[in-house]
Structure 1
Amino acid sequence: MTLEKENALVLFARDPVPGKVKTRLGPLLDAETICNLYTRFLDDSLDKLRRVNEADGFVGVYPALETGYFNHPGDLASVSVFVQQGEDLGERMRNAFVEGFARGYRRVVIVGSDSPSLPVEYIRMAFRSEKDVVLGPATDGGYYLIGMKGRMVEVFDGIEWGGDRVLSDTLVRIKAAGVGIEALPVWYDVDRPEDLKFLHSHLNLLRLAGGTPEGEATRDLLDRINFQGTLYIL
């Protein structure tokens, strides 16, 4: 991580390999379509990353850089890319925080790539907070964002990642650490078929209502998917 601003925003993402991303969407779509869709999630997530002027932008990729998606200098000119290090998600996030603070950043925020409709303003709110820890709770029992100020707070050990108690177990550890916490508005991740169908309706609602420009790349592809089956319509 290279320090230019006092804050760091880290997008946690997977390399878009067919059959390795968003596998829980399998009952609805084929692996190639799911991978194309996740690529659009990444496009929208990177767009948010570039729009947060308060922070240097980073992308932590897991498990490796294989596909070449993150090798386009023009698209990623203002973003630094690294491979996540650690045995599980908690260890990988912990290492990213430790590295960010070691580089001298005042606040480090990690955001996931599962919420293409997430308002970029929620990310900006995390950087305005003066609390030790900021959490963006997700409707599935986890969180879409976690931020820390000044130092790493030990909150990642012993968490069953991917379960519905991630948020509640994390709160227990934050309370035990005795640090201040701020909660962002609740949002939703997209992991299951029903999540994807809701996302499509939500993005179309935002478009019709003249709302936020979030998720435009994702919506463009969703408009061409037949959700009555697994047919991918080009």
Structure 2
Amino acid sequence: MLVIAKEPVPGRVKTRLTPPYTPRQAAGLAEASLADTLALAARLPARRRVLVLAGRAGDWLPDGFEVVPQSGGGLDERIAAAFALCDGPALLIGMDTPQLTRELLWPALAPDAWDGCDAWYGPAADGGFWALGLAVPDPELVRGVPMSAPETGAVQRRRLVDAGLSVRDLPVLRDVDTAEDAAAIAAVCGSRAGGASRFAKAFADLRTEAAR
């Protein structure tokens, strides 16, 4: 299990949330999203958990993760380098989908997840992707894919298919990119039983702060 993330530093993460949020508030939402993602990953079945991090780890990091620095280059190079760390089936997720649950991800984690399957692909609503799993982690399957573009996901999935891989799809999820995204995702997180979503709480706290 690979989680690729940035340290939630004001002014360096979630810049599309500013405005309406301040850099500090945007970083708080990013930290909550990352914390929820890591807490979920810590509970999922994996023989190895790796946080591929740009920056330094904070108290939001749970036990059980190796932390390795992101490589240089564009996002495609950094994802490719993350897969190069692996010697068996690997599943990579980002930090921008705090609404992710075990149930949504389970098809790629079940005991039979790789039976007749070479790759798992999780499309994002904005045209990117939020998850990528490879039975044989070949960095060249990612390197050169244009990132942060409307066609990113389609190009990545086509790359897998053109390589002759059998690809299975995970559900479409929305990334936390804009204030509208944050509100919609917080509503999903907050509607779940248990009330443990850090992201939903962080968003509610911002709403309370704005109302004062």
**Fold shared per TM-score above 0.5:** yes
2:68 aligned counterpart, secondary structure:
strand
1:118 Cα deviation after fit:
0.9
**1:26–1:215 CA distance, 2 compared to 1 (3 A):** farther
Offset from partner CA, 1:125-180 (integer Å, 9 cap, x none): 21332211110111110111001013416322332211110111112211221111
Contact 1:153–1:177, Cα closer than 8 Å, also in 2: no
Contact 1:132–1:179, Cα closer than 8 Å, also in 2: yes
1:71 Cα deviation after fit:
4.7
Separation of aligned partners in 2, 1:80 and 1:214: 28
Q: 1:146-165 residue pairs with structure 2 within 5 A?
A: 146-152=132-138, 154-165=140-151
Contact 2:119–2:168, Cα closer than 8 Å, also in 1: yes
1:11 Cα deviation after fit:
0.7
Matched, 1:35 2:27: yes
CA-atom RMSD, angstroms?
2.2
**1:55–1:214 CA distance, 2 compared to 1 (3 A):** farther
Map of 1:120 onto structure 2 = 102
2:184 aligned counterpart, secondary structure:
helix
Map of 1:174 onto structure 2 = 160
Greater mean deviation of Cα atoms: 180-189 or 121-130: 121-130
Q: 1:216-227 residue pairs with structure 2 within 5 A?
A: 216-226=197-207
**1:41–1:232 CA distance, 2 compared to 1 (3 A):** farther
1:226 aligned counterpart, secondary structure:
helix
**1:215–1:41 CA distance, 2 compared to 1 (3 A):** farther
1:214 Cα deviation after fit:
8.1
Contact 2:89–2:135, Cα closer than 8 Å, also in 1: yes
Offset from partner CA, 1:68-106 (integer Å, 9 cap, x none): xx255x9532111110113011111111112212xxxx2
Greater mean deviation of Cα atoms: 13-22 or 147-156: 147-156
Contact 1:137–1:144, Cα closer than 8 Å, also in 2: yes
Contact 1:112–1:144, Cα closer than 8 Å, also in 2: yes
Map of 1:3 onto structure 2 = none
User: Which of 148, 163, 184 is the matching residue for 2:170?
Assistant: 184
Contact 1:116–1:215, Cα closer than 8 Å, also in 2: no
Greater mean deviation of Cα atoms: 32-41 or 157-166: 157-166
User: Which of 9, 15, 40 is the matching residue for 1:48?
Assistant: 40
Matched, 1:109 2:91: yes
**1:215–1:166 CA distance, 2 compared to 1 (3 A):** farther
Separation of aligned partners in 2, 1:119 and 1:152: 27
- What amino acid is aligned across from residue 108 of structure 2 in structure 1? A
Query: What TM-score does the superposition give when structure 1 sets the normalisation length?
Result: 0.81
Query: What TM-score does the superposition give when structure 2 sets the normalisation length?
Result: 0.89
1:34 Cα deviation after fit:
0.8
Offset from partner CA, 1:175-218 (integer Å, 9 cap, x none): 221111110111111101110111122223x23xx3xx586111
Separation of aligned partners in 2, 1:218 and 1:49: 15
Deviating beyond 3 angstroms after TM superposition, the runs of 4 or more aligned structure 1 residues are: 230-233
Separation of aligned partners in 2, 1:75 and 1:166: 29
